[in-house]
Amino acid sequence: MKSIGMKTNFLITLLIPCSYWFSACSSQKPTATNESLFELEVAEAISLEMPYSQIFTGQTYASDSYVIQPRVTGYLIGKYFSSGEKVNKGDLLFQIDPAPFNAAVMKANADMASANATFKAAESNYKRSVPLARINAISQSALDQAVADFESGKESVKAAKAALELAKLDLSYTRIYAPASGYIAPSKAAVGDYVGGGTAYTQLTTIYSTDSIIVYIYLPVREFMNLQKIQPGLSIDSLFSDIRLIMPNGTFYEYPGTYDYTEPSVSNETGAMVVHLSFPNTEGKIRPGTFARILTGIGDPHPMILIPQRAVSEVQGLTNIYVVNPDSTLSYKAVEIAFPYQSFYAVSSGINPGEQILVNGLQKARSGMKIKPVMVHIDTIHTTKVGGNTNE
């Protein structure tokens, strides 16, 4: 019995220091303070009156194109541009051999001189015949012949003058100039080819004017009719607003577009209305034939919730955000994106206006994590990318 009591006393003695040691260790465990929390930027989701937006796909076209055709026939002796370069109005493009046309001008000049000489002789004879006829010094038939020669000579001079002008005009057509500024297509004819009407080269090239760019988009008739049910009285002319062009690299083109018109007939291929939009392009940043995405507002404005694109992450096809709770902890929530709008997303569900969301440091964030929120104004969060996240 004594030995058992000694063992019991030993265990009690051993447990007391251990429990004291564990208690001391637990009391020294560090606690989270404001100084140890991550400072992360947050912003409030905002509500904005705006139309429903939709992205259309299309292709860019030159606002005008000019087919360069030779007006005279001859051998091509000069080409003065590089294919694909921008040419300016009045630039010399082609030269057709002028030798035959110079000869035609010389002949026309000679014909003009001959006609003038003949007319002068007929004029002198007419002036002599008139007073002689008054005193019956010449017959009436002689006077009639003098008058006819005079009138004929006058008209011959006019014809010779017209022929000379036409010869000079044909000579001028041997030098072909750009009728407008724009990008020029490759030449269909090479130097030495016989060009002009009745030859294999009735067209030489095409110039595409790009001061303005046209984009065709296709709006399904059914979709337009559904919009009219929601918004009675809505017309195609007032349908589009805030028209933006998304460049191939995903950024917005700096200039907004305008609605031009809708073709009167529906496309047989797509069963949709063909809508023409235009964008200014004086700097030549957009080339014809470029694949284009158009983001445009449709219909009348209505309340939409906006959040910055950089606040959204995508995992396995689901879009998510971090919401900041009143105690500064984070909750990971799924949201449904309606459409992109400039550097924001319009959200159809998953968040309410005024809720705070995390806008940077998403890689550091975890659900339940406590942060030190730094409020920023939503207008200061800007990214030119469309449809892509720029999480820090």
| DSSP letters for 246-258 | EPTTSBBPSS-BE
As a whole number of angstroms, the distance between CA 211 and CA 285 comes to 10
User: In this predicted model, what pLDDT tens digit does every residue of 52-76 receive, in sequence order?
Assistant: 778 899 889 999 999 999 999 999 9
Taking only the tens place, the pLDDT of each residue in 253-268 is: 999 999 999 999 998 8
Provide mean pLDDT across the span 138-162: 92
Domains, in order of start, for the chain: 34-48+303-380 (2.40.420.20), 54-63+211-302 (2.40.30.170), 70-95+175-203 (2.40.50.100), 98-173 (1.10.287.470)
Q: In angstroms, rounded to a whole number, what is the distance separating the alpha carbons of residues 262 and 219?
A: 10
Cβ atoms of residues 370 and 358 within 8 Å: no
Token digits of residue 190? 């090479």
By the 8 A CB rule, do 336 and 319 touch? yes
Which sign does the torsion angle of CA 77, 82, 83, 85 carry?
Answer: negative
Over the range 335-369, which residues count as b (16 or more CB within 10 Å of their CB) and which as e? bebbbbbbbbbbbeebbeeebbbbbbbbeebeeeb
CA distances from 73 to 100, 104, 173, 392 (A): 10, 13, 10, 66
- Looking at the DSSP bridge assignments, the partners of residue 293 are 57, 246
Look up the pTM and report it.
0.59
Amino acid at 258: T
* Phi, psi (deg, nearest 5) at residue 230: -75, -40
- How confident is the model at residue 287, as a pLDDT? 85
- Greater confidence, 2 or 371? 371
- The answer to whether 42 and 375 have CB atoms below 8 angstroms apart is yes
Q: Write the pLDDT tens digit of every residue in 361-387.
A: 888 888 899 999 888 876 644 434 444
